[in-house]
Structure 1
């Protein structure tokens, strides 16, 4: 029986917390949140769930912590969780493009004897890409295509008049590291692809606003010693939040289930 702590209680966190609390292998679920947000967390989840503002103040040390709180949450809690010897699963992959964060988290994990696991999130083929890296990769390209409204509030607004687009337009063409830094709420997928393959600086990323796109479309192209593949997925959002990927939430649940199940796939 495992004790799980969640960081964050937005749409992805709520989905994961409720799904995990129903598993027979899970003994309990608790939540880490910012001070002053305790009642909001209880209202979003369930009244008697344990809420804390730090890993040290939980009444019981969890077996695993799951970060669904976004980049600031990983920065705020990640090192402390790992330093306390607790494995951490995160969806905030883009945060690792920030200067020094990946190194600080790795150092904390080594100090605590813990592990940071990056989930596949909104995209697939990450297992194939990571395997292909073993034999050597020549090139990896990620293309993210969304309707113009999907880029609202992002750096795309500085480059395009999103409201007047009549055809697809590229608003970013660069490295995955640059994409993750400029689009912290939109480019977790670019960072995930990069870290599974050639790295943040050698992975090409292209971001497109397309008025004809019916949803969020992610495409990964890779060439290497293994051969060549192209993977494309059009993801649906969670019903409670049109900006949150349903597959991201599902990938969190899968990652925890693989930790507690007798057979993992």
Structure 2
């Protein structure tokens, strides 16, 4: 497989490291789309293990150059602006895209633009589960009828730095769990673009953005990034609780997000998929 990556931050670096593992999806070629002027710095910092792993590695600074390289699959992992700026063109070109910054789809205009681009190009927009599990049963119950979904995301105070939570309270001085947001999934994904991708994922798989209830909490005693949600329907009642370790490079991101993307890549290349 020839894989394209949009961005080369914490998640993309984790994906590249993961692709060097013994059980990783088979990727022979890699093309990176990065910010203008960053090629030399990223090339110099690229892991030696990855250089040995891939038969060919290219770094480009324009979306048209990424598409010209001819990747079989592209992974977006550069934030919501990258979804707006690059993903529509990729879909219209007929290339499937795994979108990590799922919260971008809370924008209804962008959502419809992506749907139209995918339809025009005959491509798929693939949304990985990311840091959360249970998406399979949520989607199944949604197909079966109405569902009610309530989500609570708890992270250490440091994970909320640079978000609206920092204006609500002194994050460094917290001594007890503090709710920093309460509302629906659309508002959560819009106000906390790097912290509420799980809320967006649950909304897209379940009852929708405005019908999905979200609470975000800063907790100094949290051992990691905690995700809890309940599903109620006529078919089943489900409770899910997951405690994720934060990634080594970013407290906002759970380490499992990286492996969820690797699983999505594997699905595209695999013969037997589960």
The TM-score normalised by the length of structure 1 is: 0.94
User: How much has 1:170 moved relative to structure 2?
Assistant: 1.3
Superposition misfits of 4+ residues, deviation over 6 angstroms? none
Helix, strand or coil at the partner of 1:137:
coil
Partners in 1 of 2:256 and 2:122 — Cα distance?
30
| 2:111 matched residue in structure 1 | 102
| 1:169 matched residue in structure 2 | 178
Q: 2:206 aligns with which of 170, 184, 197?
A: 197
| 1:7–1:66 contact (8 Å) kept in structure 2 | yes
| 2:98 matched residue in structure 1 | 89
| 2:42 matched residue in structure 1 | 41
User: How much has 1:137 moved relative to structure 2?
Assistant: 3.0
Runs of 5+ consecutive residues of structure 1 not aligned to the other structure:
none
The superposition leaves residues 90-120 of structure 1 with CA deviations (integer Å, 9 ceiling, x where unpaired) of: 1100011124111111111111110101111
User: How much has 1:21 moved relative to structure 2?
Assistant: 5.7
Runs of 5+ consecutive residues of structure 2 not aligned to the other structure:
none
Partners in 1 of 2:73 and 2:181 — Cα distance?
36
The TM-score normalised by the length of structure 2 is: 0.91
In 2 relative to 1, CA 126–43 (structure 1 residues): closer, same or farther, beyond 3 Å?
farther
In 2 relative to 1, CA 251–161 (structure 1 residues): closer, same or farther, beyond 3 Å?
same
User: How much has 1:172 moved relative to structure 2?
Assistant: 1.0
The superposition leaves residues 44-79 of structure 1 with CA deviations (integer Å, 9 ceiling, x where unpaired) of: 435772011234214531111011111111111100
**How many residues of Structure 1 are paired with residues of Structure 2 in the alignment?**
264
The superposition leaves residues 227-264 of structure 1 with CA deviations (integer Å, 9 ceiling, x where unpaired) of: 11110111112223333321111011110111111111
**Bigger shift: residues 211-220 or 39-48:** 39-48
| 2:98–2:128 contact (8 Å) kept in structure 1 | yes
| 2:150 matched residue in structure 1 | 141
CA RMSD of aligned residues (A): 1.7
Helix, strand or coil at the partner of 1:167:
coil
| 1:262 matched residue in structure 2 | 271
User: How much has 1:132 moved relative to structure 2?
Assistant: 1.0
